[in-house]
A and B are shown apart, each in its own frame.
Chain A
Amino acid sequence: DGGITQSPKYLFRKEGQNVTLSCEQNLNHDAMYWYRQDPGQGLRLIYYSQIVNDFQKGDIAEGYSVSREKKESFPLTVTSAQKNPTAFYLCASSWWRNTGELFFGEGSRLTVL
């Protein structure tokens, strides 16, 4: 089955620790995205990548880092510099064209203790 796989589904972290969220897609999509979801704030774009070895900051990139070494993989690192990291993180992929059709994973919920 084609789709997007995010892991882990739940993650707990102590303050000051970096954590990496995994996102893998087998849809052969060009573009991949990371969104952060907080109640009442919709989905806010963290980073996106149109092609391998290239990525751009979204609206709230501070405290996050990404890499795109393979077309199917786009991991997100939440660093200790992110002041309020507790959130629901969503990875998505799409063809890079004006269709707006993003395919989302099931999300990773990060809680900082």
Chain B
Amino acid sequence: QQQVKQSPQSLIVQKGGISIINCAYENTAFDYFPWYQQFPGKGPALLIAIRPDVSEKKEGRFTISFNKSAKQFSLHIMDSQPGDSATYFCAASGETSGSRLTFGEGTQLTVNP
């Protein structure tokens, strides 16, 4: 009930391409869905987040798409750059859990120059 499933585990994209990472959740009480970006040897940092009252949120080259009925959400990175190479985590939380997040397994993105 509390799981968040993320795919793929790893992704290799050419510079300028589109990177797509998908997540699925089970708990319908989840109402906040952030994405975190982590560079090697560093802690994760919030990248972008969405609530289920909208189906899409865009910040620069990063877009979250949200499908409430399918209980799925995804991160799209347009015009991917080598500097985007990092591990990406989706996460979810609900009102009753405060800021306690349930994380996906992570996707290691490599953008080749």
Say whether B45 faces chain A, with CB atoms less than 8 Å apart: yes
Contact-size category for A: 20 to 34
Query: A40: which B residues are within 8 A, CB to CB?
Result: 9, 105-106
> A104 contacts B104, CB within 8 Å?
no
Say whether A100 faces chain B, with CB atoms less than 8 Å apart: yes
Contact-size category for B: 20 to 34
**Minimum distance in angstroms from A10 CB to a CB of chain B:** 10
Query: B97: which A residues are within 8 A, CB to CB?
Result: 98
Query: A94: which B residues are within 8 A, CB to CB?
Result: 99
Known A41-B105, A100-B91, A101-B99; judge A92-B34 contact (CB<8 A).
no
Q: Which are the 6 A-B pairs with shortest beta-carbon distances?
A: A104-B43, A94-B99, A43-B103, A42-B105, A100-B34, A42-B103
Say whether B19 faces chain A, with CB atoms less than 8 Å apart: no
Say whether A7 faces chain B, with CB atoms less than 8 Å apart: no
- A107 CA to B95 CA, complexed, in Å: 27
Q: Which of A45, A101, A105 contacts B100 (CB 8 A)?
A: A45
> B44 contacts A43, CB within 8 Å?
yes
Known A40-B106, A104-B44; judge A31-B98 contact (CB<8 A).
yes
